[in-house]
Structure 1
Amino acid sequence: MSDTIGQTTQVCPDCGTEIHGDSRFTVWCPACDWNVDPSGPREQPGGLERRRRRAADAYGEKLFAEVTHGRSLRPRRDAAGIAAYAVALCVHALTLALLVGGVLLLVYGWGIVMPVAGVLMLGFAWLLRPRFGRLPDDEPVLHRAEAPRLFALVDEVAAVAGTRGVDAIVVTAEVNASVTTYGVRGRRLLSIGLGLWEITTPGQRVALLGHELGHYANGDSRHGLIIAKALGSLTTWCRLLAPISSPTGWQVALTAMYLLPRWLFAGTLVLLDGLTLRAAQRGEYLADSLAAKAGSSDAAATLMDRLTVAESAETALRREANSGRIRGAGEASRTEPWQGLWKRLAAHMDSIPESEYERRRRVGALRGHSVDSTHPPTHLRRAALLAATPVAASVVTDTAAEEAIATELAPARERLARELFSGWQG
């Protein structure tokens, strides 16, 4: 990480310390934290997310202490987990009751009112039905035959994590990675964002795969079929019963009728979310430990650093797309502006000085869980990795494997770069 680009020197207005910074990033004082967070705390959300963050703040330090003091974080079926499954099953039972009741009223109901009520119940059941993911049709999707070396790496990392590999890999332009399932049979889908993949080292990529596949190995209840679909159904209920803005006439009475059921479903959503929030954060630490096991403690910790400055990568991609569109419209343009995008992004990220990483870590400590309630703060995850006994990588890729994977990703890399330049509005 170079600190020679855009060097600037000034005196801290608060403590008088001479500051050596990079003019491309926020200039701040490491001695007194002047200007460490110039934008200040982000606007506090309302409703469910605010409650999530309060719960995360209350539990965060306790969980971090458990991690750093060596207590086992293996998933266990505790009272909260059992209660969460019970609540989720009740939610699904309501959907099933609407389906069965709607059919009975439609078939055996007399007059007009009962069949109409049956149709309405069937409509609600349809809206609340469990939805199974599908493979995206607007992004590159890879299968084993198209990317055998990439899938072999995923399989190798999955074996270290104690689980199986994935059935498909979708490649996106995001600065992120994730896992999910698709189809009724629950096939596994790994999402690799080139915005993150291209700015990481081979070891960090192995750690990234270890973390994502670790969510399968840990049996994260929030990613499981029963609870995940129940959360989705409750969210749908809350949207259906949302109050009408500026109601008039009969809408006022309708909104009043919705008041009690809206509170009931919103309260159930808060309850189910709270019962599973601790397990979700625990699962992130468990996934981090598997990331270290697969790619090494050092690779997992430096991956956290990359995640800390992910916003810089997103900004760089937007800047590239906007400037490339301008260059492409000029008469002097002789090359396609998207060419070399991912290399330029990686070079930009490699030029970020250590002072910017440290500033982002301090901002994370100041804001705590205000950035994301479902994940522990990134600086705490990094600290937990550094506090644990260092482990070496279980999976190491050689140059031949890395080149083969790069070749398999080349079509997706070109397609997404083209789409980014043509479709991202500045």
Structure 2
Amino acid sequence: MSVHPWYVTWCAACDWNVDPGAPDPDRGRLAQVRRRLARRHGEQLAEEIGRVGSGDRRGRPDGSTVLAFGLALLVHGITAGLFLAAAVLIVGGWHTGIQPVLGVLLLVGVAVLLPRPGRSPSGPAVLYRADAPGLFGLIDEVGAAVGTAGVHAVVVDASFNAAVSTYGYRGRRVLVLGLGLWEILTPQERVALLGHELGHFANGDIRSSFLMHGALRSLVEWLFVLRSVNHGSIVDWFLNALTFLPRWTVYGLIHLLDGLTLRASQRAEYLADTGAARAGSSAAAVTLLDRMLVGEGVEAHLRRESMAAARAGLGSGGRDAREVREAAERELWERLAARIALVPEHEYERLRRVSARRGHSVDDTHPPTHLRRRCLASAGPQPARVVCDGSRAQVVAAELAAARAVLARRVIRDHAG
């Protein structure tokens, strides 16, 4: 057995102590059902993709997807019906005086329920093409490799994450890059990460479609309006009784729509993984998934750095405390990358086995990580269509330098004060 003071001691032959920190089971029956459903979908899709091989893995829309779109149309149809009812009350009942008032109130409710586009990106680290031409050029090249366009904005934050979305009525694209993930990757793994995220645009994801996202948002708004109130009065009791059935109907619709789109969402993740392999190489896509297993370690390291700076600052005063914080901020991301680079292969192997035992995934909309890794490894080696060499990586790093500094300051001062 490999023994290291920083990592779990375990036996590769019999899996002794491979998962000493196994989490408690999900609380709540719905959470358990959703978790089992997500794992079953992930396993079924992995088998299907394995049979299809390297060909077209999209498949035809299944019955659940068709039903989900029908349900989304029904939700939007109800909103449209409320709008028509408001119009009838206002126009047809103008002479009554009270009906237009009810119609206006109904219009306000419709305005709340209408699907809205995402908001424009904001925050201390938002980059546009003019701010980072090298980074956007890399994104454009990766987008072309996976069969889509680039993005209009990049939001950089400190999370261990990456994501894509749209904003505005014109559907402009935004990419979120979490430095907690970006900084621990090799240049080619970063290309694979970009390929995965842009692959969502290339292949589509029904949950992010305007129709489906708007329906889910409307249902959540309905649930908020129908929420129970508990102030102890007889009026509250009467209102809760009146809204009981509609409230639980909406709650059930949310979970039904979520369950119906779960399989399609997981398929979208498998397809996005093929984009990662196509852009950055299959080897980089596989090791990228390994990096996803050390998320807890990354977050723990950032907390330790922040708390260490806070303790050092308490032992100093004035200018010395400020210098301690500034030094911690300057070195934060380099120290994180160096720390994760020391993770030995036997620890990655342990994490892969834990992943298979727990069905580890980023969340329930993602297939289990070990299944994603197996599908990539079984698809055969693919060379990189986009290469990020040393000089190109340096250009991108220089363009991200200001964002890195701002976010390092934020991470350190969360505890350092």
For the Cα contact (< 8 Å) 1:21–1:355, is it kept in 2? no
The corresponding residue for 1:64 is: 46
1:88 to 1:424, Cα distance in 2 relative to 1, 3 A = farther
1:279 to 1:424, Cα distance in 2 relative to 1, 3 A = farther
For the Cα contact (< 8 Å) 2:360–2:369, is it kept in 1? no
The corresponding residue for 1:135 is: 120
Mark the runs of 5 or more structure 1 residues left unpaired by the alignment: 1-18
The corresponding residue for 1:305 is: 290
**Structure 2 residue 89 is the aligned partner of structure 1 residue 88:** no
**Structure 2 residue 384 is the aligned partner of structure 1 residue 393:** yes
The corresponding residue for 2:267 is: 282
**Structure 2 residue 83 is the aligned partner of structure 1 residue 99:** yes
Following superposition, the deviation at residue 73 of structure 1 comes to: 1.7
The corresponding residue for 1:348 is: 339
For the Cα contact (< 8 Å) 1:313–1:349, is it kept in 2? yes
1:382 to 1:246, Cα distance in 2 relative to 1, 3 A = farther
The C-alpha deviation readout for 1:206-260, integer Å capped at 9, x for no partner, is 0000000000000111111111111111122223323335754222221122122
Give distance in 2, aligned partners of 1:188 and 1:302. Answer: 27
Secondary structure of 2:385's partner? coil
The corresponding residue for 1:7 is: none
Mark the runs of 5 or more structure 2 residues left unpaired by the alignment: none
Following superposition, the deviation at residue 266 of structure 1 comes to: 2.0
Give the alignment's TM-score, normalised by structure 2: 0.91
1:201 to 1:126, Cα distance in 2 relative to 1, 3 A = same
1:268-417 equivalences under 5 Å are 268-329=253-314, 330-331=316-317, 332-333=320-321, 334-335=323-324, 336=326, 337-368=328-359, 372-417=363-408
**Which structure carries more helix by proportion?**
2
Give distance in 2, aligned partners of 1:370 and 1:146. Answer: 34
1:3-402 equivalences under 5 Å are 19-46=1-28, 49-71=31-53, 72-109=56-93, 114-245=99-230, 247-329=232-314, 330-331=316-317, 332-333=320-321, 334-335=323-324, 336=326, 337-368=328-359, 372-402=363-393
Give distance in 2, aligned partners of 1:220 and 1:84. Answer: 13
1:172 to 1:374, Cα distance in 2 relative to 1, 3 A = same
For the Cα contact (< 8 Å) 1:53–1:370, is it kept in 2? no
The corresponding residue for 1:14 is: none
Secondary structure of 1:34's partner? coil
1:260 to 1:359, Cα distance in 2 relative to 1, 3 A = same
Secondary structure of 1:338's partner? helix
1:248 to 1:418, Cα distance in 2 relative to 1, 3 A = same
Give distance in 2, aligned partners of 1:181 and 1:94. Answer: 25
Give distance in 1, aligned partners of 2:149 and 2:126. Answer: 19
Q: State, as a whole percentage, how many aligned pairs show the same letter.
A: 49
For the Cα contact (< 8 Å) 1:295–1:394, is it kept in 2? yes
1:91 to 1:49, Cα distance in 2 relative to 1, 3 A = farther
Following superposition, the deviation at residue 371 of structure 1 comes to: 6.5
1:354 to 1:237, Cα distance in 2 relative to 1, 3 A = same
The corresponding residue for 2:413 is: 422
Following superposition, the deviation at residue 197 of structure 1 comes to: 0.7
Following superposition, the deviation at residue 58 of structure 1 comes to: 2.6
Number of aligned residues: 408
Q: Superposition RMSD on alpha carbons, in Å? A: 2.2
Q: 2:64 corresponds to which letter in structure 1?
A: A
Give the alignment's TM-score, normalised by structure 1: 0.89
Q: 2:86 corresponds to which letter in structure 1?
A: G
Give distance in 2, aligned partners of 1:47 and 1:90. Answer: 28
For the Cα contact (< 8 Å) 1:293–1:392, is it kept in 2? yes
The C-alpha deviation readout for 1:126-163, integer Å capped at 9, x for no partner, is 22221221233323111111111110100000001101
Give distance in 1, aligned partners of 2:62 and 2:362. Answer: 28
- Per mean C-alpha deviation after superposition, the further-off stretch among 119-128 and 40-49 is 40-49
1:418 to 1:226, Cα distance in 2 relative to 1, 3 A = same
Following superposition, the deviation at residue 94 of structure 1 comes to: 1.5
Q: 2:193 corresponds to which letter in structure 1?
A: L
For the Cα contact (< 8 Å) 1:308–1:360, is it kept in 2? yes
For the Cα contact (< 8 Å) 1:324–1:338, is it kept in 2? no
Q: 1:209 corresponds to which letter in structure 2?
A: L
